[in-house]
Structure 1
Amino acid sequence: MRALKWILAISGLCVALAGCGGGGGSSNASTSSATTTPAVSTAFADATATPVASGSPNTVPITVSSFSSVRNFPMVSVKVCGPGSGGVGTTCSTIDNVLVDTESFGLRLFASVIPGNTSAALTRETQGGQPVAECVSFGSGNTWGTVQKADLVMSGELASTLPIQVIADPTLAATIPTGTNGCLTGDDMSTPSTLGANGILGIGTSPNDCGVDCQNSIVAGAYYLCPSTTCSVAQVAVTDQVTNPVRKFPVDNNGVIVEMWQVPDTGAAKGTGTLVFGIDTQSNNALGGTGATILPTNIWGDMDAVFEGRSYSKTAFFDSGSSGLYFQSTTLSKASNGFYTPAAPTGLTAVFTAASSAKATIQFNVSNGVTLLNSGNYAFNNLGVAMFNALDIGMPYFYGRHMYYGISGMSAAAGVVGPYVAYTSS
């Protein structure tokens, strides 16, 4: 539901990721493997789908680069303005290097990256005169901050009066809640450097980040009212929750497509692609007629899967916010820091089962992670990391593919209704 998993090249990797959720590893790791995999390449052919140009009003460019120490982080720019401005005027500011995350929902920006003219124009959300705050627990830490309203512009798309999270808002007197009704255990990500990005653009399959659960009942570790230095858990109406911005667009509001150029198997210093808004709404975002594999999911984008004989129940997903391919393997060698280190590129196969019971065979490649990271590159299509509690098909799988995310309750001309994930590989 609220999962973001990434590799921070400056932090230590949790090998048993049930505790930390995400992961990280040293960019200059040089740990030897405990076992040996035969040096015979069994890798599958790379996907070859190419992105559409990013010059249309419903597109923005995606870049993976060395902006931070994070590998495989897809970034976009967003323009944020005061609510009701229509996305123009002196209250607007462009904020670069915001993570594209298909397994979370809503825009979250660090207060420190929002210029003063824009920050002053945002409107704080309150209930009974008390500020509304939110804690969001991601794979390797929590974001804590106020809920505020803004206008968001991306290319020609406008999301008006959008509830967003302002992380580490200095005007919020209360510190991050802990204990029984507090945030999940994890680090407090209070600066851009702790995340490796200036914010998170959550554009997955849910229209909001909690939904009726937070509207109709008390959900610990989500929304709070903070009148002073202490907070109490709160119910928040769906319309006031942090919202998937795509759902607020006037036209191209039924989903997105993440399209990335393929990179060499040894990695690249930079990766590029296009984020396309809408599915079957414009000439450049067709799903119907593409022959795409379409996989209905639960509202959070999760499915069942089987990999190496192990079953995963609603814990298999495709996540652009995950820098690696996270899975448990008993056949691949791995370094003590958790990166898989096969002696030659190795092709692996998982079987995903969609909410409709449709099945899809997912093929991906894994190469020696220590060698890849030591290359100094930032974009990798074959970086694998040990994780025992989920099958997280992360950013490496996105290169050379068009990855579609249909928002729950929204239909496409292809006759499919969200939530779903779909992909084409050529």
Structure 2
Amino acid sequence: MTSALLSPGTAALVLFGVFFVLLVLRVPVAFALGLACLPLLIVEERLSPLVLFNETFKAYNSFILLAVPLFLLTANLMSVGGITDRLVRLSRALVGNFPGALAQINVILSVFFAGISGSSTADAASQSKIFIDAQTREGYDLSFSIAITAVSAVLAVIIPPSILMIVWGGVISVSIGALYLAGVIPGLLIAGAQMATVHVYAKLYNYPVYPRATLRELVIAIVVSIPALMTPFLVVGGILLGWFTATESACVAVVYAALLSIFYYREMGPRQLFDALLETGRLSAVALFCVGTASAFGWMLAYYQIPRELLANVTSWGMGPIGVGFFIALCFLVVGCFLDAIPAIIIVGTTLEPLSRSVDMHPVHFALIAIVSLAFGLVTPPYGLCLMVACAVAKVKLRFALKDTLIMLAPMLAVLAALIVFPEIVLFLPRLFAPEFLK
């Protein structure tokens, strides 16, 4: 035990109490996490407010986290360089004849974009501008159009390369290569659940269908898109083959996206490059500031041994791996409603990690349960960042699309439950292609 002035219970009450009060007052999450630490740092004799600065900046001394702005830059380069347009064309050729064609294209494009960007926020922003207005013009309900755009954007944090997997691997020391492989099947299952939901909506409301693409149109769309589709294979394959680390793969992805946009598709000039760099700097600053203050908050939790106290009663419940899996999912589902995914990983992930170990849950299985659960938080109020972005583009309030969003989450919850009950869904590809990453 530390010789702290306050008990773990009192310290937890102060930390979380101040944090939630600040959230109610609409203080940004990153600032609220840092400010919540100050009362204890002032009261505790052995500590000082300088700890907040030290722990915040110590978090940035991470080679792995450098991959975050680099993957965001890759996504922005792809967007301004005309690559997204080619992927839309391919998506239409593949599923344009399915019921609810434009919404199905929306989902498929999210799968492709997820394999490039790793950022749900970037996906939601670009997809909203492309699809929401286009779908409403074709007779789709606006609420449905917003909901499917926001919900499909969460695939970017599940399908590799995922920024959340990079953060998880850096914070909890899990192989990023294994996490990348583990995310493929869950991501595709969730995409399938979303497409099935669109199919039901299309049948109920008679949403339009496009003519089936000819073989020539499909071949042309594939040929034009192949260079862009090589990005995820380059990133993930390079890591699996030992050519480069996760951060180095992000550097390769940036260079590849830039060369593709400038010399192959020839749609990016100096102005577009500047816009991509500016947007990347803005998004990176927000994400990484959260990492720093969340690390300081996590350090305070560890100092007062709050995680051990919180888990003391839980371990006495005698839950098996499945019970613990559902408990972990519930914790992340609730936390994801209020907190950004990156600080949630740093705070809640490190807190629950000993519980997962106590039932011999594989670290990769634990990570995927958490990441998929946190993906729901991107579209569930009051946080719901992807839903916020989609509603902002559509110029409506968040509650306008809430009903359809919740309906679409139901089959996704079924997939999450399957991941918990059947760990092999997560572990199959890592065991098949890179069993050394699971050791």
Give the structure-1-normalised TM-score. Answer: 0.31
Bigger RCO (CA 8 Å, 6+ sep):
2
Q: Which has the larger radius of gyration?
A: 2
Higher strand share: 1
Give the structure-2-normalised TM-score. Answer: 0.30
Higher helix share: 2
